[in-house]
Amino acid sequence: MPLGDDAAALPLSGNKVLLLSSDALIEGTHFLPQTPPRAVGEAAANVNLSDIAAKGGRPTALLLDLLIRPATPLAWGVAVVEGAEAAAARWGAHVVGGDTKPSRTPAVVVTVIGHGDREHLAPRSGARSGDLLVVTGPVGRGGAAALPLRRGRLTDEELRTLVDVHPRVREGPVLARFAHAMIDTSDGLADAAHLLAEASHVQVTIDAAAIPITPRLRGRLRGAKAELEAAFYGGDYELLAALAPKELSMARRRLAQFGCPLTVVGRVAKGRGARLDIGGRLRPLPRAGWRPLG
């Protein structure tokens, strides 16, 4: 994989490659102090599993590092590890090691080791003029989960929903066989579209009317603009892929076995940058999405 992709690929024998991805969840940035620790562990594993899926690979093992305050109860750390193990085990992978260190700010760092086929890996940089942009599921799930933050106090269920990540582990390797480029929407559809356009040196256009906005946002926000901003919030963890129009039908049939929809949300052309098409009016696609560094 080119430097800058969410997963690195190292060649093995034959057509096999070793995939590596690492990410961190930090208290106060990605989860709240009162978030159930098992949910934190599951999320920490799943955000990395999503990166492996976005390259068309499959997970093999996880390493987990806990950075915690010295007074943290042992049960908290155990629950985090149990959550990560449960998330990994769904896909035949397991937590195989890691470390624990004292820290003023708690964080969970996970590294996922995976494998893939060199001929069927999808970088960010392969989108071509004429490609369609497709997304694997509803947009705005993360934005909908964040709505309760406006009122302050959250229920336990709402705290879990904030870190509820569903990586497309089964779908990634299948879609990679058709995709010229692929990225997950961890930081939002708009951010993913920008990154794909920059890496591929193309222009992408997102059709606002075609975005499959999650029903949880419908009717809860006033106005199309507010709804679109929430849809671009991030935290969806769907896959955004660029593929040739002739591949669309077969890709849809292959993903149907998982109950996974494939919605055309835009197109790729020669040029640079990312645009938003609202009723035929083109404007720059806003740099919306998750911004942990502001």
Specify the CATH number for the domain of residue 35: 3.30.1330.10
List the structure tokens of 74.
């042992």
Whether residue 114 sits in one domain with residue 257 = no
Asked if residue 247 and residue 130 are part of one domain, the reply reads: yes
- Shared domain for 68 and 196, answered yes or no, is no
Indicate the residue type of 205: T
* Same domain (yes/no): 144, 272: yes
Q: Please say whether the beta carbons of 276 and 208 come within 8 A.
A: yes
CATH number reported for the structural domain that contains residue 162 in this entry: 3.90.650.10
Residue 276 CA, chain-centre distance (Å), reads 21
Regarding whether 247 and 209 lie in a shared domain, the answer is yes
Task: Give the CA angle between residues 169, 175, 177 to the nearest 5°.
Answer: 120
pTM of the model as a whole: 0.92
In terms of Cα–Cα distance, which of 201, 246, 235, 182 is closest to 53? 182
Same domain, 144 and 275: yes
- Pull the structure tokens for residue 256: 């149907």
What are the backbone dihedrals phi and psi of residue 197, each rounded to the nearest 5 degrees, phi first?
Answer: -65, -45
To which H or E segment does residue 66 belong? strand 58-68
Same domain? 271 vs 133: yes
Domain that holds residue 37: 8-120
Kindly report, residue by residue over 9-56, the tens digit of the pLDDT: 998 888 899 999 999 999 988 999 999 999 999 999 999 999 999 999
Q: For 219-278, what is each residue's pLDDT tens digit?
A: 666 656 667 777 788 889 999 999 999 999 999 999 999 999 999 999 999 999 999 999
